[in-house]
Amino acid sequence: MENAELVPDVLDREPTSLLRVEFGPKKVQLGNKLTIQEVSEAPTLVDWDAEKGKFYSLCFTDPDAPSRSTPTVREWVHWLVVNIPGDSKDISKGDTLIEFVPSCPGENSGIHRYTFVLHQQPSHLDFSAVQRFDKSVEHRALRRHFSIRTFAQRFSFGEALAGNFYTTEWDDYVSVIRKQLGLE
């Protein structure tokens, strides 16, 4: 992640572990290129070395919004789930603060680094004061300028435990995603 400059763009330090992320048969492998269609749904697998009795936070962002050369809305948050129980590592048993939306880079915006970051929380936490975002068009602008670094500091998460990322760029399937999201 350091070689891809996600340290310092997203994190202060490289995570100590690799987060296993799969979209069906396609694995995320530290910057491999995936197509928009391959990542058009939430991951089918997210796995890590978890401790029983602990809770985790998973965040998925695009630090290259609208482009890597001009990241004026860095980071654009695509998904945020907290209080994931380490006993099961079942994302659906966590609290979704920000619903998953797929990668949707702009045309001619170049390669984007879509980044997954996992933190171990100090305990099961109360996030009731945090605004929740669904997939609606009304919440799109609110996803801008998110910082996983700031969020982790706010809730005393400490350093990132695990991470991974893939790269992708605009292709014709983006128009399908935009229609699904009500943007066209």
Tens digit of pLDDT for each residue in 80-115?
Answer: 999 999 999 999 999 999 999 999 999 999 999 999
Fold of 6-180: Phosphatidylethanolamine-binding Protein (3.90.280)
**DSSP state letter for 138:** G
- Residue 34 φ then ψ, to 5°: -120, 155
3-state class of 153 per DSSP? helix
Task: Provide the 10 A C-beta neighbour count for residue 76.
Answer: 23
* The pLDDT of residue 141: 86
Q: What's the whole-model pTM score?
A: 0.95
Share above pLDDT 90 across residues of the chain, in percent, rounded to a whole number: 90
| Cis upstream peptide for 8 (omega within 30°) | yes
CB contact at 8 A, 156 and 150: no
pLDDT at 133 over 80: yes
Tens digit of pLDDT for each residue in 21-37?
Answer: 999 999 999 999 999 99
In single-letter form, the type of residue at position 111 comes to: I
Dist. CA 117–CA 102, nearest whole Å: 16
pLDDT at 184 over 90: no
